[in-house]
Chains A and B, each alone.
Chain A
Amino acid sequence: MTRMFGQPIPRVEDDRMVRGHGGYLDDLGHDALACAFVRSPHAHAEIVDIDVTGALDVDGLVAIYTYEDLPDRLADPLPLLIPHPALTEGRTQYALARERVNHVGEPVVMVVAQDRYVAEDAAERILVSYRSLPAVVGIEAARAATQLVHPDVPGNIAANMLQTVGDVDAALAAAPHILELDLSIERSASTPMEGRGVLARWDPESHRLRLWSSTQTSTGVRAAVASKLGLALVDVDVITPDVGGGFGVKIMHPWPEEVLVPWAARQLGRPVKFVEDRREHFISSAHERAQLHHVRVGFDRDGVILGLDVRFWHDHGAYIPYGIIVPMITSTQLLGPYKPGAYRVEFDSLYTNTLIVTPYRGAGRPQGVFVMERTMDAIAATLDLDRTVVRERNFIQPDEMPYDHGLLFQDDRPLIYDSGDYPTLLDKLKKLVGWDEFEAFREAARAEGRRVGIGLGCYVEGTGVGPYEGAHVVVEPSGKVKVATGLTTQGQGHQTVFAQIVADELGVPLSDIEVVTGDTRRFGYAVGTFASRAAVMSGSAIALAARAARAKALKVAADALEANPDDLDIVDGIVRVAGVPGAEISLGTLAVLANPLRYAFDDAAKAATQFAVGDTSKPPVGEDDEPGIEGRDYFSPMQSTFASGMHAVVVETDPDTAEIKILRYCVVHDCGPLINPRIVEGQIHGGVAQGVGGALYERMAYDEAGQLQNASFMDFLMPYVSEVPERIEIDHLETPSPLNPLGIKGAGEAGVIPGAAAFASAIEDAEGITITAMPISPSELFELRRRHEERSSP
């Protein structure tokens, strides 16, 4: 059998999806009641009064709930999911606002009605009076702290965190060169095409809750909902249907709606569904990215960094349910493939009266990489060195792996790179993009009156973060193999890649394997899909579970065929004895034999009744044995595995309009061995497009009152095909990770990470104007040019 691992096979998911037979959240529950929420129109206000009388005669209205209606734990603030010692002033929201609102879009009143139209009619008739308070918008305002988001949080600072390696002050004092840079990145957001959604059915007879959520973590939602509603975990099923993209935003849980909908379903004894609309997604889900950095770097005459001192401010919005994961990642992954000499990084995580911040694909890395790569370019400019040369001189070398940075990573474990070969990656990138030939191209373009530039961005990404994932593999009497893992899927092709792994491990054809993800009925222990961890974590667990199932199958087969297990192999679902033609038995038959039954309900079962099989001198199921051919196993590594990559982009800037056109986009990428190259490349394509969006188009345009001015697809400029590069040229390097059975590293987020860094580098190269803030629009570039000319003209 050809090994399935590594084959660029088409996806098994696609057939039903292209037929229109996918099952997304809003495709379910046609009998359910609908919800609408009255959301705060103010960024910061006290709630004075809520008057629902106008809504009561709306035909089809079922229920209206405010904070006052919430019982017990539902009336407590939502959980702070990831506490940390540095997070001293953690504040989270109530499921429905209590007395105050802290951002536009915060839910205040819940309306349940026969359909969404009616629910919105009723919501519109509910009068909430507010006493508005001054809003804190943006990092500068939060730092100034002349107004406070939460009156009991001084300075608007939720967390301050400092990490140091070596003596930075001494290193900077001794450095022949010192540079200081101020750098910033604006807000953007995951913006999946499908928003959030949740559907709940309460069964009063069995006293059980069944919940469907468009989530990145079904087990997390289950735990949160069970806790809020006072239910046992075993009485709550959470099922992840097809999910129309996540990119991070759907890891946040529980959303207010995720606990309110099941509660209402139980209250009303009717199924209830909430499906977010696009405007709601912009103002009530989550954003990311906004940070401001001040960098001091000391380096020698060769451009080798001696000391790096980074102080930054992170805008986490009105509440901090997801903790300080994002700035922690920024502060560590900023280092990329480099040795920083002495390093000090300190950040404040700040409250503002804007939407909460949770990880968006890349999760703090695009900012960190932007900062580090801008620093590298600044060093190169200062010393008049090629930008790739400065990078090379600071690389961690392959023979230094594993490389310990002496810092703590986002999982509070040591930041140790397990593997990687950065010099080779850079060589590959230079070849792919033609770095050394670029000056000739620039000259030719200049002769035609065109302005072009080239830039690059390098990154290292901790992937496959713990704590664990697990998997279950079972062979059915039909010979079909059913696989379940608890983490969820939002388009990554898990049903395909996990089946590829099982096909190899168990020796069964792909068509006989079915994979289920994110369904607590099938697998109850899981963490979730984020941090490019699914392939590493669940892929490894599935490989281990499949190996266990294989060992069991071989053991039963060895008995049945009276052979030595070492002489057996499984090919196409059949166990064969090496060198003995005809001595074979199918996995399906083994599954029957391994399950000694009392009842012969079909022909296969007949073969397995206790009267038909087994040695009567032994118990039907041996003491250390279990019925069936199955395997269950978990994968829990000591630490993350570190993928890496480098992007180069060639841009052309219009001398008159300052429009920025992408001429080339090149990616070299090392995520270890590829399970399915076509899927990995698809992930890179999507990431690059989001990187383009983040570098050139996407921002959350809050005004000073905290109103989001561009909360629609008309105004938030998400790339269409016309904005993305015509080709994304990709080359791979495969350095295996020593940390998991398949040697793999995550690939999901990589494509987006160095986008802003590479574009800033290229635009600066084209224009000769220092770029310190992203994203950059043509009008901003135009303005930069104008100011640059002003400064340079006498």
Chain B
Amino acid sequence: MTDELFDVRLVVNGAAHDVRVPARRLLSDTLRHDLQLTGTHVGCEHGVCGACTVLVGGAPMRSCLLLTVSMDGAAITTVEGLTEADGALSAVQQAFVDCHGLQCGFCTPGFLTTITAGLRANPDPTEEQARELIGGNLCRCTGYQNIVRSVLRAAELQRERAAT
């Protein structure tokens, strides 16, 4: 038996990729293993941990719950695509460095993408809102203390950068 293959075009971090995949291939696997964009991590494969979160048309989605064939034409941003065009860290990435928002770094890509989308919707969250924003992502290392701080710091950095 052989799986039937489907042609799919993905626009990932601004670059178009044509892939041929079986119907069951997960977007997380396509990104990680076919496109070798391994920044997106897989922590559970059942949609609970958020490590695999990518932005699809700007909205955070769990790539372990998406089939690649369903993504034809989609514009996807992975953690690799958060970095500014000139190579500088985005405000959210920088905030994680500033606030020690990561330890092992495995959950981090999912937090970075989730927070990036969240701050677009609400650029000035309260601490309570910062907590809600990351409420669906698991981290086993940080106890979330410095991730909450990173959200607030990222909002601050974004404002600072917008002002200059």
Per-residue CB contact flags for chain B residues 96-125 toward chain A (1 = under 8 Å, else 0) read 111010111111110010000000000000
Let me know if B44 is at the binding interface, CB within 8 A: yes
Q: Which residues of B contact A751 (CB under 8 A)?
A: 143
Give the segment of A413-421, A489-497, A603-611 that binds chain B.
A489-497
Q: How far is the CA of A22 from the CA of B108 in the complex (A)?
A: 10
Cβ 8 A contact of A722, one of B78, B80, B131: B131
Cβ 8 A contact of B48, one of A57, A690, A714, A728: A714
Let me know if A207 is at the binding interface, CB within 8 A: no
Describe A's contact surface by its main secondary structure: loop
- A18-B93, A57-B1 known; A245-B145 Cβ under 8 A: no
Most-contacted residue by chain B among A18, A26, A682 (CB, 10 A): A18
Let me know if B11 is at the binding interface, CB within 8 A: no
Query: Are B140 and A27 within 8 A (Cβ)?
Result: no
Query: Are A192 and B100 within 8 A (Cβ)?
Result: no
For window 101-141 of A, CB contacts with B under 8 Å fall at 115, 117
Query: Are A18 and B106 within 8 A (Cβ)?
Result: no
Shortest C-beta distance, A476 to chain B (Å), equals 26
Shortest C-beta distance, B147 to chain A (Å), equals 7
The count of residues in chain A whose C-beta lies closer than 8 Å to any C-beta of chain B is: 59
- A682-B146, A722-B131 known; A19-B39 Cβ under 8 A: yes
Let me know if A232 is at the binding interface, CB within 8 A: no
Cβ 8 A contact of B33, one of A20, A30, A493, A682: A30
Query: Are A18 and B112 within 8 A (Cβ)?
Result: yes
Residue in chain B with minimal CB distance to A191: B140
Q: Which residues of A contact B107 (CB under 8 A)?
A: 193, 244
Let me know if A17 is at the binding interface, CB within 8 A: yes
Residue in chain B with minimal CB distance to A15: B97
Cβ 8 A contact of A18, one of B24, B96, B136, B143: B96
Let me know if B16 is at the binding interface, CB within 8 A: no
Most-contacted residue by chain B among A20, A247, A278, A751 (CB, 10 A): A20
Let me know if A713 is at the binding interface, CB within 8 A: yes
Q: Which residues of A contact B137 (CB under 8 A)?
A: 720-721
Let me know if B69 is at the binding interface, CB within 8 A: no
Let me know if A444 is at the binding interface, CB within 8 A: no
Shortest C-beta distance, B41 to chain A (Å), equals 7
Let me know if A783 is at the binding interface, CB within 8 A: no
Residue in chain B with minimal CB distance to A715: B48
Per-residue CB contact flags for chain B residues 124-162 toward chain A (1 = under 8 Å, else 0) read 000100010011111111111111100000000000000
Most-contacted residue by chain A among B93, B112, B143 (CB, 10 A): B143
Let me know if A59 is at the binding interface, CB within 8 A: yes
Query: Are A690 and B32 within 8 A (Cβ)?
Result: no
Query: Are A278 and B32 within 8 A (Cβ)?
Result: no
Q: How far is the CA of A416 from the CA of B148 in the complex (A)?
A: 40
- A17-B108, A18-B108 known; A194-B41 Cβ under 8 A: yes
Cβ 8 A contact of B100, one of A682, A687, A714, A727: A682
Q: How far is the CA of A21 from the CA of B43 in the complex (A)?
A: 17
Q: Which residues of A contact B32 (CB under 8 A)?
A: 26-27
Q: Which residues of B contact A749 (CB under 8 A)?
A: none
Q: How far is the CA of A62 from the CA of B135 in the complex (A)?
A: 42
Most-contacted residue by chain A among B44, B80, B89, B107 (CB, 10 A): B44
Q: Which residues of A contact B44 (CB under 8 A)?
A: 278, 712-713
Query: Are A688 and B143 within 8 A (Cβ)?
Result: yes
Q: Which residues of B contact A191 (CB under 8 A)?
A: 140
Q: Which residues of B contact A673 (CB under 8 A)?
A: none
Query: Are A490 and B104 within 8 A (Cβ)?
Result: yes
Q: How far is the CA of A403 from the CA of B49 in the complex (A)?
A: 45
Query: Are B83 and A192 within 8 A (Cβ)?
Result: no
Per-residue CB contact flags for chain A residues 717-756 toward chain B (1 = under 8 Å, else 0) read 0101110101110000000000000000000000100000
Query: Are A24 and B142 within 8 A (Cβ)?
Result: no
Shortest C-beta distance, A32 to chain B (Å), equals 10
Q: Which residues of B contact A115 (CB under 8 A)?
A: 33
Q: Which residues of B contact A493 (CB under 8 A)?
A: 103
Let me know if A482 is at the binding interface, CB within 8 A: no
Q: How far is the CA of A41 from the CA of B115 in the complex (A)?
A: 40
Shortest C-beta distance, A9 to chain B (Å), equals 10
Shortest C-beta distance, A701 to chain B (Å), equals 16
Q: How far is the CA of A26 from the CA of B106 in the complex (A)?
A: 11
Q: Which residues of A contact B42 (CB under 8 A)?
A: 26
Q: How far is the CA of A724 from the CA of B105 in the complex (A)?
A: 19
Per-residue CB contact flags for chain B residues 22-61 toward chain A (1 = under 8 Å, else 0) read 1011000000110011111111111011010000000000
Q: Which residues of A contact B82 (CB under 8 A)?
A: 20
Let me know if B164 is at the binding interface, CB within 8 A: no
Q: Which residues of A contact B33 (CB under 8 A)?
A: 30, 115
Let me know if A58 is at the binding interface, CB within 8 A: yes
Query: Are B43 and A278 within 8 A (Cβ)?
Result: yes
Cβ 8 A contact of A193, one of B106, B112, B145: B106
- A15-B97, A58-B1, A689-B144 known; A244-B106 Cβ under 8 A: yes
Q: How far is the CA of A287 from the CA of B152 in the complex (A)?
A: 36
Residue in chain A with minimal CB distance to B150: A18
Let me know if B76 is at the binding interface, CB within 8 A: no
Q: How far is the CA of A683 from the CA of B102 in the complex (A)?
A: 11
Q: How far is the CA of A689 from the CA of B141 in the complex (A)?
A: 8
Let me know if A685 is at the binding interface, CB within 8 A: yes
Cβ 8 A contact of B43, one of A14, A193, A685: A193
Query: Are B144 and A724 within 8 A (Cβ)?
Result: yes
Query: Are B43 and A19 within 8 A (Cβ)?
Result: no
Q: Which residues of B contact A21 (CB under 8 A)?
A: 39, 80
Q: How far is the CA of A714 from the CA of B48 in the complex (A)?
A: 7
Q: How far is the CA of A683 from the CA of B146 in the complex (A)?
A: 11
Query: Are B41 and A14 within 8 A (Cβ)?
Result: no
For window 191-250 of A, CB contacts with B under 8 Å fall at 191-194, 242-245, 247
- A20-B39, A24-B106, A713-B48 known; A15-B139 Cβ under 8 A: no
Let me know if A277 is at the binding interface, CB within 8 A: yes
3 tightest Cβ-Cβ pairs between the two chains A and B: A20-B39, A244-B106, A491-B104
What are 27 pairs between A and B in contact, CB < 8 Å? A11-B97, A18-B89, A18-B94, A18-B105, A19-B79, A19-B89, A20-B38, A20-B109, A21-B39, A24-B38, A117-B24, A192-B140, A193-B41, A193-B138, A242-B104, A245-B104, A491-B103, A491-B104, A491-B141, A678-B100, A682-B100, A682-B103, A682-B141, A714-B48, A720-B135, A721-B147, A727-B145
Q: Which residues of A contact B (CB under 8 A)?
A: 10-11, 13-15, 17-24, 26-27, 30, 57-59, 115, 117, 191-194, 242-245, 247, 277-278, 490-493, 678-679, 681-683, 685-690, 712-714, 718, 720-722, 724, 726-728, 751
Q: Which residues of B contact A (CB under 8 A)?
A: 1-2, 22, 24-25, 32-33, 36-46, 48-49, 51, 78-80, 82-83, 89, 93-94, 96-98, 100, 102-109, 112, 127, 131, 134-148
